[in-house]
Structure 1
Amino acid sequence: MADWGAVIMAVVLFVLLTPGLLFQLPGRNRIVEFGGFQTSGVCILVHSLVFFGLISIFLLAVGVHVYVGS
Structure 2
Amino acid sequence: MQDWAAPLIAAALFAFLAPGLLLQIPGRNRPVDFLNMKTSVAAIFVHTILYGLFLILFLIVLHVHLYA
2:65 is aligned to 65
**CA drift at 1:46:** 0.1
- Moved beyond 3 Å, runs of 4+: none
1:5 is aligned to 5
Give CA deviations for 1:22-67 in whole Å, capped at 9, x if unaligned: 0000000000000000001110000000000011010001011111
Question: Aligned residue pairs: how many?
Answer: 68
Larger Rg: 1
TM-score (norm 1): 0.94
- Paired with 1:28 and 1:36, the residues of 2 have a C-alpha distance of 10
Aligned residues with identical type, % of pairs: 44
Higher normalized strand content (fraction of residues)? 1
2:40 is aligned to 40
2:29 is aligned to 29
**Which structure 1 residue ranges, 5 or more long, are not aligned?**
none
